[in-house]
Amino acid sequence: MIDIEQGSTNVYEDLGRPDAAELQVKAMLAAKIGEIIKYRHLTQVQASEILGMPQPKLSAMLRGQFRGISEAKMLECLNRLGRDIEIRVRKPSRSKAVGRTSVVFV
């Protein structure tokens, strides 16, 4: 019999990565960028021109390799793909010593 352990909603956290929250945000942003590129039927070369990044770096980002790509650059990519970005800072519903970052697509 195989033991199955329930994971969290963040695979990076489950893997014990110290930067799990940041990687989760980047993964969600990269997935949305990839979704928009696919929806617009863009090649990676066309998309890289629109996004202002080399095609190999775009390819790596879409495969989950985020080294050297900041969240700010990913947000800029979404802007270049015609998406508005809204950043909201709010007080948490419960008192916490450390807040959290989440990404919501509407």
**92 in a structural domain:** no
User: One digit per residue, pLDDT tens: the chain, 106 residues?
Assistant: 888 878 788 888 889 999 999 999 999 999 999 999 999 999 999 999 999 999 999 999 999 999 889 999 999 999 999 999 999 888 877 777 777 788 888 8
Q: Are the beta carbons of 69 and 29 closer than 8 angstroms? A: no
**1 in a structural domain:** no
Domain count, the chain: 1
And the tokens for 19? Answer: 């930067």
| 102: number of Cβ within 10 Å | 8
**43 in a structural domain:** yes
In terms of residue numbers, what domain contains 40?
13-80
Q: Are the beta carbons of 7 and 18 closer than 8 angstroms? A: no
Q: Report the candidate in 59, 29, 60 with the shortest Cα–Cα distance to residue 47.
A: 59
**96 in a structural domain:** no
The pLDDT value given to residue 50: 98
The pLDDT value given to residue 86: 92
CATH number of the domain within which 51 lies: 1.10.260.40
**42 in a structural domain:** yes
